[in-house]
Structure 1
């Protein structure tokens, strides 16, 4: 995503971004099993610094990286579909977080991965 406001709290405040991510995960019905968010120190000549965070899910993970000095955010939502199809939940999670960042531009890429049948290996 590009064109995100550097002043948006999610861009620079790890605790605020953590809370938003955990709420969104719960809202769509995925299960958090761990999380870690880290705020960086501003680079020389910059007033703000970004955040990197990950939410470990029973279904896989959510990763987010912010660059407030560039107005850029990357989101990665990965879910496994072994016992149930979580694709809709993953899409809802992504949609909620994208809307929250209010980007001026966004590009999305969806990759469907198949788990090989254990009986055939």
Structure 2
């Protein structure tokens, strides 16, 4: 049950706007980055939210991993995104792979402000 949960809240994303608004393209890039990090995608889902008075709708891209999950949410009207990478470390420590995946996503969004957190999970005794 031990794992590593990494999160990042991004503001001032300087990436191409497609990464904030095109759910299918973002999802495809997420799957590529998952594979490049050495993790295994087992399912995926993307959703585009409707446009509103503030501009185009954001997107959610989720990749279910054999090791756990990746989830990205965007707010194009604010130039923001949130990233969530969780890996279970049962049998093998996937922490370095999770950190590589998060680093690749941070590079993709190229934010001016980033707040990151790392949480070690599963430390509760049975």
Q: Using structure 2 for the length normalisation, give the TM-score.
A: 0.87
Report 1 or 2 for greater relative contact order, CA contacts < 8 Å, sequence distance ≥ 6.
Answer: 2
Unaligned runs of 5+ in 1: none
Q: CA deviation at 1:46?
A: 2.4
Would the aligned equivalents of 2:39 and 2:97 in 1 still touch at CA under 8 Å?
Answer: yes
Report the counterpart of residue 77 of structure 2 in structure 1.
69
1:15 and 1:63 map into 2 onto residues whose CA distance is 14
Q: Which moved more, 1:81-90 or 1:4-13?
A: 4-13
Question: What is the alpha-carbon root mean square deviation over aligned residues?
Answer: 1.5
Q: CA deviation at 1:19?
A: 1.1
Q: CA deviation at 1:48?
A: 1.1
1:13-28 mapped onto 2 (5 Å cutoff): 13-28=22-37
Name which one, 1 or 2, has greater alpha-carbon Rg.
1
1:50 and 1:106 map into 2 onto residues whose CA distance is 19
More strand by share: 2
Q: CA deviation at 1:7?
A: 4.9
Structure 1: which 4+ aligned runs deviate by more than 4 Å?
Answer: none
Q: Using structure 1 for the length normalisation, give the TM-score.
A: 0.90
Indicate how the Cα distance of structure 1 residues 81 and 6 shifts in structure 2: closer, same or farther if over 3 A, else same. Answer: closer
Report the counterpart of residue 32 of structure 1 in structure 2.
41
Would the aligned equivalents of 1:28 and 1:92 in 2 still touch at CA under 8 Å?
Answer: yes
2:22 and 2:60 map into 1 onto residues whose CA distance is 10
Would the aligned equivalents of 1:15 and 1:37 in 2 still touch at CA under 8 Å?
Answer: yes
Report the counterpart of residue 113 of structure 2 in structure 1.
105
